[in-house]
Structure 1
Amino acid sequence: MTLRPDWLPALAAFETAARHQNFAHAAEELHLTASAVSHHVRKLESRLGVALFQRHARGVSLTAEGRQLADAAGSALADMESVLSDLRAADAERNRVRITTLHSWTHSWLLPRLPAFAALHPRIQLTVDTEVALTRFDQGGPDLGIRHGQGHWPGLTAHHLMGDTLFPVASPQFPGIAQVRTPAQIAALPLVSDLARQGWADWFRAADVHGAHLDERYVFSDSTAAMNAAAHGLGVALARERIVTPYLAGHRLVPLPGPRLKTRFEYFVVYPSHRRLRPAARCFVDWLLSLERE
């Protein structure tokens, strides 16, 4: 006997009724009436030439033939549900982009722009890892990364994303800050530092301030923490333009006199050279690169 597509509604009604051992409960699950479920079951019984349920005053119960069909139908549906779940997971994975990136850059530059990406690409899902250690791009690892350097990492393709500049900032409430007119005056103030590869010594050299004793009173491993420390009035921080912009826009920090020093290290988007980017990851890379071309 060939299983034709027009059997499927009756089989679905039977499988549900068999699980519940009750036509009314099956009807509720299927959004049908109990009489419609009963009609489907009788139609199936007629086609098969066997009784699938015993009907009695207290309700219904499966016959031996009904139990055999119920076991087969339940097993088939479970197999189909497993396959459907795998297909849904595979579709979600195709639209998942895993990114390893820098905490400060993510917090200050990327996050304010992500709503625009989400509006353009609502199906793409992002997983963002901001651990300090450089992540290995192994199978199952991140699709791409944002790195700060000179653009050369073995085994990685690197696209230049953006440059940066360094300049001093402080809270507008820092005592006497309004009277600071020269870089030499900044050298006499408490300084806030991070662990970047260019720091205050480089900036004062560019500002032609030599021989000053620098009071680097607070040192943070993260640039965002350094910006927050300056915003709370602990001292003057050497800011990176890409990190400090939200603080300047919110008037939590103000720029101080002196040059804007171009950084030796810049931002790059990177991914394994041996692995082709999946479409969703390529879409994210293209979006990032387009921002700096605008």
Structure 2
Amino acid sequence: MTLRSDWLPALAAFESAARHQNFAHAAEELHLTASAVSHHVRKLEARLGVTLFLRHARGVSLTAEGRELADAAGNALADLDGTLRGLRGRRQETPRVRITTLHSLSFSWLMPRLPRFAAAHPDIALGFETDAGLARFDEGGPDLGIRHGPGHWPGLSSHPLMDETLYPVASPGLPGIAALREPADIATLPLIADLARQGWPDWFRAAGVHGLRFEERYRFVDSTGSLQAAVQGLGAVLARDRLLGPFLADGRLRRLPGPKLTARWSYHIVYPAHRRLRPGAQAFVRWLLDDVAEHGA
């Protein structure tokens, strides 16, 4: 089928409606009325002979055919947008993708993977923002983020990246570590904590340890501080598995007796639902999802 120019307005309206899952929001973005967006979508459905949206009382949702077309239309319009930006000559520099994520995840998990991205995309520069607070994805803000949470954030598109587990670790040189035989013994050590939603009480319950008294001797805002404290031999820390690779590989930390606790939250790639990803950001998202699928989390 040859794509005629009169298909483009309908495809643009559909792509926006698919991103927002809402005709009114798409209309606001495109400076149209909701009825005009609905007309474009119905026109597209009639021409293709398929249903793209399921209409229900709460709004609309994509069918399988709609999801397929939304992915293709989003990629095509993002590529077109990137080409137009280049032709306008707004920037002569290498395109830079701005990514916001946790410092601990950036340092321990993402950094070791980046040589593969650099080899696959030598023309794309990356910028990382690791502030503790949640970034605002407004105009001039980051392109995308990697967040640890429940998977649903208002105004953001979200793609699951990987799950998480927690278990205790400590420095091999921590006094008393050689005598540990079972989870209850860990309560005799100085314990290190951070401000995560799950902590030592959750892990001890999962390990079947009840009624013991224990002290969280040191507490840090994030995992970076708690892991470094454990490396210095200050105590045992309940750590997230995805952050432990470098520490376990070089022997700075070792796992202690007891089970792995499945985390309530997981990691997700997020970006604003109200705008399409630029081509460089889109390439980074595709690479990251493919890299986890190929090499594991």
Query: TM-score with structure 1 length normalisation?
Result: 0.69
Q: Which residue of 1 aligns with 2:250?
A: 250
Matches within 5 A, 1:137-148: 137-148=137-148
CA distance in 1, matches of 2:92, 2:194: 42
Residue 159 of structure 1 aligns with an amino acid whose one-letter code is H
Q: Which residue of 2 aligns with 1:289?
A: 289
Report Cα offsets for 1:114-137 as digits up to 9, x if no partner.
Answer: 111111111101111000111111
* 2:163 corresponds to 1:194: no
CA distance in 1, matches of 2:97, 2:186: 44
Matched-pair contact (CA < 8 Å) for 1:219–1:226: yes
* 2:232 corresponds to 1:232: yes
CA distance in 1, matches of 2:182, 2:137: 46
Q: Which residue of 2 aligns with 1:134?
A: 134
Matches within 5 A, 1:1-294: 87=89, 90-92=91-93, 95-294=95-294
Instruction: Please state whether the residue corresponding to 1:115 is helix, strand or coil.
Output: helix
Give, in angstroms, the shift of residue 251 of structure 1: 0.2
CA distance in 1, matches of 2:115, 2:267: 21
Based on CA coordinates, which of the two structures has the bigger radius of gyration? 1
Q: Which residue of 2 aligns with 1:19?
A: none
Residue 246 of structure 1 aligns with an amino acid whose one-letter code is P
Consecutive unaligned residues in structure 1, runs of 5 or more: 1-83
Residue 225 of structure 1 aligns with an amino acid whose one-letter code is G
Consecutive unaligned residues in structure 2, runs of 5 or more: 1-85
Report Cα offsets for 1:191-220 as digits up to 9, x if no partner.
Answer: 001111110010001001111112100001
CA distance in 2, matches of 1:250, 1:176: 21
Aligned residues, how many? 208
CA distance in 1, matches of 2:101, 2:135: 9
Matched-pair contact (CA < 8 Å) for 1:224–1:243: no
Q: Which residue of 1 aligns with 2:31?
A: none
Q: What's the RMSD between the two structures over aligned residues?
A: 1.4
Q: Which residue of 1 aligns with 2:68?
A: none
Query: TM-score with structure 2 length normalisation?
Result: 0.68
CA distance in 1, matches of 2:165, 2:202: 12
Matched-pair contact (CA < 8 Å) for 1:194–1:219: yes
Q: Which residue of 2 aligns with 1:17?
A: none
CA distance in 1, matches of 2:112, 2:238: 22
Instruction: Please state whether the residue corresponding to 2:110 is helix, strand or coil.
Output: helix
Residue 289 of structure 1 aligns with an amino acid whose one-letter code is L
CA distance in 1, matches of 2:93, 2:163: 34
CA distance in 2, matches of 1:291, 1:136: 27
CA distance in 2, matches of 1:135, 1:232: 31
Residue 142 of structure 1 aligns with an amino acid whose one-letter code is P
Residue 140 of structure 1 aligns with an amino acid whose one-letter code is G
Q: Which residue of 1 aligns with 2:36?
A: none
Residue 249 of structure 1 aligns with an amino acid whose one-letter code is A
CA distance in 2, matches of 1:118, 1:151: 28
Instruction: Please state whether the residue corresponding to 2:161 is helix, strand or coil.
Output: strand
Identity %: 61
Residue 128 of structure 2 aligns with an amino acid whose one-letter code is V
Q: Which residue of 2 aligns with 1:10?
A: none
Instruction: Please state whether the residue corresponding to 1:92 is helix, strand or coil.
Output: coil
Instruction: Please state whether the residue corresponding to 1:277 is helix, strand or coil.
Output: coil
Give, in angstroms, the shift of residue 91 of structure 1: 4.2
Matched-pair contact (CA < 8 Å) for 2:176–2:189: no
